[in-house]
Amino acid sequence: MTLPRIFRTTAFRFALLYAALFAGSVGLLGVIVYHSTRAALEARAQEQVDDEARGLVAEYKARGMERLMLVVTARMQGRQRDALEYSLTVRDALLAGRSIPVAESSGVVAIPSRGEGPNDLRPADARSQARAGDGNRRAYFRAVQLDNGARLVVADDLDWIDAVQEAILKAFGWALAATALLALAGGALLSARFLARLDAMTRTASAIVAGDLSSRIPQAGGDDEFDRLARAFNAMLDRLAALMESLRQVSSDIAHDLRTPLARLRQSLDEASRSSTSLADMQTRVALANEQVEEILSTFAALLRIAQIEAGQRRAGFADLDLSALVAGVAEDWRAVAEEKRQTLTSAIESDVAMSGDRELLVQMLVNLVENAIRHTPEGTRIVVSLKREAAATTLAVADDGPGVPADERDKIFRRFYRTERSRTTPGGGLGLAMAAAIADLHGAGVAALDNAPGLRVEVRFPVAEMRRHIGKP
């Protein structure tokens, strides 16, 4: 018969394992308590008997035999249940108490229960014999030979120790039973909770497989293992959804934006094959077609590089670097390019800004931002490259006072192939800012396009905590 699902979970098996370990511990503790309690109680009974015997001997020595007989008789007559037993004899003649025919000075004897059996105490050779179920009780005795030939025996019932041990065994038995019941109940509750959380994850995974990339694992609002796992999986699903959306966007962009250059290439080759009147004319047309092929290949290369960056494949190239020197170098290299277009490029760079990253990619990111500012602004534009360290983040910015970008398009300019209406007449494939955004994301930075009033300001913010984590600083 197959057990219910709730009893076949790992949580339930762990609960049973812990219950078995706890039950074993309780059992071991019970054995220790059982034996140590018996030893302690028997030692206490022997001590009591020995003290009583010494007291009676002292009474005899102080006040004589008659006083001893009176004391023994009085204690036997006034004794309570489980009190001491006494025997005072002279040459096998009983003077007071009960007959205890023992040869040793101390040991264990079998005592008939009161009102049962003969009024004497028999020697017990072994504990099993003393507890043979014949109505006898076990007793520890101490025998003292007096100087007048009399023999004094004091005995104490030991069966009450068995009662104490029986109570201990019952207590530990109930503890084991309670442990088993609590283990089953706790295991069932843990399994139910475990299955509920696991089923939620399973449903989310099934929804993702079915194509619902918006499905996420619900969280209980705490900080337990399941919530941490859910947050990790949800972050992974967010990343997966972003990559899938990016792939969809790339496919759509390729279908729309590469169709035109491919159509021009086809037209050029068709004209070369049909309309060329000479070898020189054919070579000219083929050279033009080669240029168009190179442009298309460059576009695909840029797309491939963006995909590699977004996949995080360039993290292996991270190393400590001086971001201040890197930004200053790029600004200096592009100052002459800006001057050729009658523009002004200046820089405001804080020194000693360090981080860990891919130098080549960071240079590529800054070059794309500067080139974008130069290409899409008119003559006379002022372009400022800045690097500023603040409490929460280090900000790298490229700002210009050109015509700027409409507010509703600023977030779109980082998409692949996206070009504003104003920039469609300028050279470029619309991938520079997309690559810059991918490089910024790889380095844990955020990128944003802001109004420079007038013009456009593109900021890349590197969180200080992220920079410290990369370079291992406290």
Q: Phi/psi zone of residue 255: left (φ > 0), alpha (ψ -120 to 50 degrees), beta?
A: alpha
Q: What distance in Å separates the CA atoms of residue 12 and residue 33, rounded to the nearest whole number?
A: 31
Distance of CA 95 to the CA centre of its chain: 80
What pLDDT score was predicted for residue 253? 63
Buried b (16+ CB within 10 A) or exposed e, 302-313: bbebbeebbeee
What pLDDT score was predicted for residue 116? 41
List of residues 6+ apart from 79 with CB closer than 8 A:
none
Q: What distance in Å separates the CA atoms of residue 378 and residue 134, rounded to the nearest whole number?
A: 120
Query: What count of Cα atoms within 13 Å lies in the side-chain half-sphere of residue 138?
Result: 21
What pLDDT score was predicted for residue 6? 56
**Mean pLDDT of the residues in the chain:** 78
The 3-state DSSP class for residue 348 equals strand
Could you say which architecture CATH assigns to the domain 314-471? Answer: 2-Layer Sandwich (3.30)
What value does the mean pLDDT take over residues 365-374?
91
Residue type, 102: V
Confidence label for 327 from pLDDT (cuts 50, 70 and 90): very high
Phi/psi for 375 (5° steps) reads -70, -35
What pLDDT score was predicted for residue 430? 67
Q: Where are the domains of the chain?
A: 10-164, 216-257, 314-471
Alpha helices, DSSP H, located in 210-258: 225-257
Residue 364 has pLDDT above 80, yes or no: yes
What pLDDT score was predicted for residue 126? 38
Residue 120 has pLDDT above 50, yes or no: no
Residue 5 has pLDDT above 80, yes or no: no
Are the CB atoms for 251 and 224 separated by under 8 Å? no
Which DSSP state fits 113? P
What pLDDT score was predicted for residue 269? 77
DSSP characters over 355-416 = EEE-HHHHHHHHHHHHHHHHHTS-TT-EEEEEEEE-SSEEEEEEEE-SS---GGGTTGGGST
Q: What distance in Å separates the CA atoms of residue 37 and residue 310, rounded to the nearest whole number?
A: 72
Confidence label for 331 from pLDDT (cuts 50, 70 and 90): very high
Phi/psi for 328 (5° steps) reads -65, -40
Residue 141, H or E segment = strand 136-145
Question: 43-52, 240-249, 320-329, 369-378: which has the minimum mean pLDDT?
Answer: 240-249
Q: What distance in Å separates the CA atoms of residue 474 and residue 462, rounded to the nearest whole number?
A: 17
CATH class of 10-164: alpha beta
Are the CB atoms for 117 and 188 separated by under 8 Å? no
Confidence label for 395 from pLDDT (cuts 50, 70 and 90): very high
Q: Which of 10-14, 82-86, 259-263 has the highest mean pLDDT?
A: 82-86
Residues 415-426: tens digit of each pLDDT: 776 666 555 555
